[in-house]
A and B are shown apart, each in its own frame.
Chain A
Amino acid sequence: MPSAAHMVFDCIQRFGDASSNPVLEVLKDVPDFAQGQKYPQPALAFAAGCWRTYYHSHPLTGGGAEEHGHFHLFVQHDDAADEPAWTHLAALAMDRDGQPLRWFATNRWVTGGQWGEHDRLLSAVDALAPMSEQGILQQWLVAMVQLYRAELDALLCSRDAQLAGRLCACPAEQVLADRSLYELAQSPIDLRSKLTSQLRGEIV
């Protein structure tokens, strides 16, 4: 079974063959990409419908001028009763050339849904299977999530640490709805270095 690094590399090669990248894949049939809109609509399902993602662009991010937009990644909440509830794992910011820039975690008010506990989110990540995905974008997203599992683990720890102090002083609902807290943690991405370190010594 190919590693996550191999899967990401394979997707990159196929994106390149098509003169595309993950964001262009999302926007390929979009005549006018508009700030604030979500692409696609409805959100792209993957992992047998247990995950959803969309891409959008808006000014409220910490990525600065080099950030074009970001994918929000959601996983279905296990305890959903009648209607599925969604939990936000993280956002994957992309630069203006369609390259992954950083992961970031947001406060709950930003994405709504159920608040994702660290261990539960990582379990959902571990359950992903890149090979089972049909589309190249879904494969790339799943492989990226698994390739950066350790960073996402640390990201969620940082997220929780950021909230921990406030939770001592305020009720959780108040903290998770605090609009002065947008991004709680981030983790930069250097995909070239990551793949190089993961694929070192292998014939790719």
Chain B
Amino acid sequence: MSVEDHISLIDGKCRYGEIRYMRTEILDISLRNGVVIGPSKMVYGGWAVRTLNKTFGFVTSDSDVKKACESSLNLSNKQGKEVKLSEEEVNRDEWKVEEKKKLADVGVEELVDLMTHLDSILADMDVKVRMLNLKLKITEKEYANTEGSYIKGRIPAVEYFHYIGIMENGKSEMSFIQLGRTGGYEQLDFLNLEDVLKEEANALKKVINAPKAPTGKMDLVVGPEVAGIIAHESCGHPMEADRIMGREAAQAGESFVKVDMIGTRIGSEVVNVVDDPTIPNSFGYYLYDDEGVKARRRYLYKEGIINEFLHNRESAGKMGVRSTAAARSSLWNREPIPRMSTTFFEPGDYSFEELIEDVKYGIYMKTYTEWNIDDVRFNQKYTGRESYIIENGEIKDAVRWPVLEITTKELYSKIDAVGKDLQFYAGTCGKGDPMQGVDVWMGGPHLRLREVYIG
């Protein structure tokens, strides 16, 4: 039975209503220091009914959609704020991410062999601390609303995560990485896991006995992994319209960006940060958001100017604009709120050599370890993991833990050159209450910043 068959239970009884059935299936293999913990499989799903009258009533049930509809209507008549949803087109469509090798056909034996092999690569390189995880994930969604939209989607994905550490001479160094793609099992080939693991282990060995990075004002070149986390934390998050208008205030916080700041300069003219759910095989891929709005690329910071926000229909209606199709629910039992998908710096036209060649003295922060940012997304910190001195246009010795602690405006204003390469890294972005961890990509090319303080 389709969710659309249940719409009559709420149609005519609310100003707006939607029913979503969502089911997430994850097969998961973990290894800890060489030991296969055992396969784990989660199959988790149910109905979410959201209706709007005096306020939103949101009710979930894993067994009784009729009862959920009744309860949702009841809750929607509690006293709340006046909500005006943005006007959107009625869409009716089915979409799915293709799998060349279906995830459902992959056996546990194959996964165990792969993960054991990956672990052995690290063990052979004397990496003592090894926590590895591989997930095969299939998400199915069916959505209908009282305006006539009906969307059915299917998203298979692969995801790899590790936390590794080495110890030498009383020192320790750790790293983590998360990689993911939507699609079938064939997508693992694009993750180049063997090369990534070897590179990570070698990087730890290079820096563990390296001297502490110098401090002071200097030029900084950051790699795509660092560019990605910057784009995500201090562009994507502050451009979420619910934060801007205070709806997330008691949880993930608000934003330094205010409603009237569209058109305000935040960075140099070479800065273009976009969020795009429609990049094929990206980890945060979707063609319609969880309110049935058709997805598109959003220019968040365009030529250094604050350009457009990430909206769902609630925030867009409040601002009197159209949704930018950013509504996402991480699981069947979560409300759809504005989220990122793939957030990245658009590439420029510098080669890596060109970025480095006129740096007299500075740091190359290739990857990062610890990072954080305040709840209005203005005051942030990135600590380098694999990092090197740049001297007279050349990469020199490795250094340990350079710290970039900087405001958003300063960071984006100091970018003077953008590389032409582009790489993406996966993440699980947290927001909402209860917490919603959604799959995202973040990335970019190499970036050069002039005269920033390294601590």
Chains A and B bind each other:
no
Footprint of B on A, CB under 8 Å? none
B: residues with CB less than 8 A from A are none
